[in-house]
Structure 1
């Protein structure tokens, strides 16, 4: 596994799937991209289902349940121009590209992302940056996509520098899989691009403790050294982290790597993802079981997207807090 695997044949050659599975998974790949980095290939071989389920294609992906939607977070109605999504008054997304180091089998943008990248042209990027400059109610710019850390350090630094120069933008945020999926990209040039005077928050997407390798530990330590605040975001997934032990392990591992658990997302109903669904009531019970077992530092906000793009809302905090005993005041 010396190169990124981008086809079912690559996965079979690496021993991650059986050769007999290739024809069926080739059909999946025609609709949903495959990408598994060498590091994740190694981790999948070591740890099995909790990682394989996230990254390896399955025939069920071509079955769309009645409740599933191509755009479950309703990005399109809130897109004033290409590359920008503005759902909330005080913050907006900038999507400079739609390529990722890996393609998660549960991704809510799985109809849009892929290796062709959806990279904004220079004119489109300038128009998007100008939109942020002339929209003073927006105080936070959130780089997402795709994965912004797939950009070249030069291009990323240019974007961040432009955004940091806009007076009304108080906070910049990046959402990325790179620190766990392809930590070798976090080199000196990337670290320089991420070193800013403006507050920068980096949300690291990971769903299982086994995703944190020796290589990712080095990358996260280096990212912490830039002054960026590291936050963790995860998705509650059937067969991946739907147990108290798995969630506790994930949150504790994040903290050991200087990553504060921030969001635990309820699965968005993207096409072909029904096998990952965990009912909200079960998610609440899982989190409730961790009350008093883990520090408050390890506690994320459990959130779900509102239908038709109304944004995220926290799920059942009154349920989580009820009947949980009285934790220590400083917990």
Structure 2
């Protein structure tokens, strides 16, 4: 079986005529069909299910993008303006989730360059979270006492336009590697081994799953050989951007090195598809817990209905909401930022209205670390604690019944 696209290879043909309300449909097998007015390559099912094919066929120019979406003039200007400044690429799978006629599509905004990323914004930095400040080796960033991150690659299947490492992973001349990414890991592994307080290592980048299984296992097994490393985590957006990557072979390999955790990054309900659901299920069946880190993004998920739906859909597919990140003021990303008040509004609408473990922790990432910034549900008074519930109702908990401060000798 093959995808029902016109067989024209990788080059566009014809001028699309766009019905204003057309939406992307799919065949009964889940194969995305070409919407009216767009001409796409014919893709055999075997290739569509092969993550390597998607990586080879990533959309990286206007001609290929036009096979999937009707680009606006602003998008074309942004793509041209990004040349020599920021990389961009989109997997065919992720492109198939885009509304081909709506530039405000939440998937499209995350993947296609926009003019906003070329503007200068007050306070924007290339590294507001302090990766370089806490860097100890070519790859190791040691910010917290018992855990480190290893920035093991610059490569991603899709270069998300809101990436907190936009400069370091997508700037053509910018990188966080002092040495070549291909340098061996001896220095990094030695640092971790010589600091036995490090019990938790997060592999990130870029996206670690961009490596093939063999290379990834070399890294994971080397970490597992360090006695003080208890937990290995992988930060990956592949379950969202290219779920075909989550194969039984990959999961079985990771399961050999338990405990292994995976944190992913769904930002909108539209990204939760049968393919991504199967990818999550495959990880879970191999004993790999899956958490989610959502970024609050203007025009994408900065409304309560979207965020509630996202969190409840994540729970349905057994993904635990972990963080809601306030969008970092990163150079090239600032146009996605909302106000903190908007984040508070959304958190207030989640707390008490959905399952408790479906409510993420709202944080602002700084050089001081991840700072929880949700509004408190209590305040201290001379009489005791005034508690507030999700409805705004309040009650006083008497200090005699529930002392706020420790007293000498205890109660």
Alignment of 1:240-259 (within 5 A): 240-259=300-319
Q: Is the 8 A contact 1:12 1:22 kept in 2?
A: no
TM superposition shift of 1:178:
0.2
Match of 2:182 in 1: 121
Q: How many residues align structurally?
A: 324
TM superposition shift of 1:242:
0.7
Q: State the Cα deviation string for residues 52-95 of structure 1 (Å, max 9, x = none).
A: 11111112211121210011111111111111111111100011
Q: Is the 8 A contact 1:148 1:175 kept in 2?
A: yes
- Give the counterpart of 1:220 among 271, 280, 290: 280
Q: State the Cα deviation string for residues 270-315 of structure 1 (Å, max 9, x = none).
A: 1122321111122011110122220012111111112xx1110111
Match of 1:45 in 2: 99
Q: Which has the higher helix share?
A: 1
Residues 9 and 196 of structure 1: CA distance in aligned 2, closer, same or farther (over 3 Å): same
Q: TM-score, normalised by structure 1?
A: 0.91
Q: 3-state DSSP class of the match of 1:132?
A: helix
Runs of 4+ in 1 over 6 A off after TM superposition: 115-119
Match of 2:15 in 1: none
Q: 3-state DSSP class of the match of 1:146?
A: coil
Q: Is the 8 A contact 2:68 2:96 kept in 1?
A: no
Match of 1:185 in 2: 245
Q: Quote the Cα distance in structure 1 between the aligned partners of 2:388 and 2:340.
A: 16
Q: Quote the Cα distance in structure 1 between the aligned partners of 2:351 and 2:170.
A: 39
Q: Is the 8 A contact 1:39 1:181 kept in 2?
A: yes
Q: Quote the Cα distance in structure 2 between the aligned partners of 1:205 and 1:58.
A: 21
**RMSD of aligned Cα (Å):** 2.3
- Give the counterpart of 2:260 among 200, 204, 218: 200
Q: Is the 8 A contact 1:12 1:19 kept in 2?
A: no
Match of 1:209 in 2: 269
Q: Is the 8 A contact 2:264 2:291 kept in 1?
A: yes
Q: Quote the Cα distance in structure 1 between the aligned partners of 2:169 and 2:207.
A: 10
Q: Quote the Cα distance in structure 2 between the aligned partners of 1:146 and 1:20.
A: 27
Alignment of 1:94-109 (within 5 A): 94-109=150-165
Q: 3-state DSSP class of the match of 2:141?
A: strand
Structure 1 unaligned segments of length 5 or more: list them: none
Q: Quote the Cα distance in structure 2 between the aligned partners of 1:270 and 1:8.
A: 25
TM superposition shift of 1:19:
6.2
- Give the counterpart of 2:81 among 13, 27, 30: 27
**Greater relative contact order structure (CA < 8 Å, 6+ sep):** 1
Match of 2:224 in 1: 164
Q: Say which is worse superposed, 183-192 or 242-251, in terms of deviation.
A: 183-192
Residues 24 and 51 of structure 1: CA distance in aligned 2, closer, same or farther (over 3 Å): closer
Q: Is the 8 A contact 1:7 1:26 kept in 2?
A: no
Q: TM-score, normalised by structure 2?
A: 0.74
Residues 24 and 189 of structure 1: CA distance in aligned 2, closer, same or farther (over 3 Å): same
Q: Is the 8 A contact 1:16 1:45 kept in 2?
A: no
Match of 1:314 in 2: 372
Q: Is the 8 A contact 2:323 2:361 kept in 1?
A: yes
Structure 2 unaligned segments of length 5 or more: list them: 1-39, 44-56, 379-386, 394-411
TM superposition shift of 1:200:
1.4
Residues 25 and 129 of structure 1: CA distance in aligned 2, closer, same or farther (over 3 Å): same
Q: 3-state DSSP class of the match of 2:96?
A: helix
Alignment of 1:224-303 (within 5 A): 224-303=284-363
Q: Quote the Cα distance in structure 2 between the aligned partners of 1:325 and 1:19.
A: 46
Larger radius of gyration: 2
Q: Is the 8 A contact 1:55 1:102 kept in 2?
A: yes
Q: Is the 8 A contact 1:264 1:302 kept in 2?
A: yes
Match of 2:5 in 1: none
TM superposition shift of 1:25:
1.9
Q: Quote the Cα distance in structure 2 between the aligned partners of 1:170 and 1:21.
A: 45
TM superposition shift of 1:319:
4.9
Q: Say which is worse superposed, 162-171 or 316-325, in terms of deviation.
A: 316-325
Q: Quote the Cα distance in structure 1 between the aligned partners of 2:91 and 2:377.
A: 39
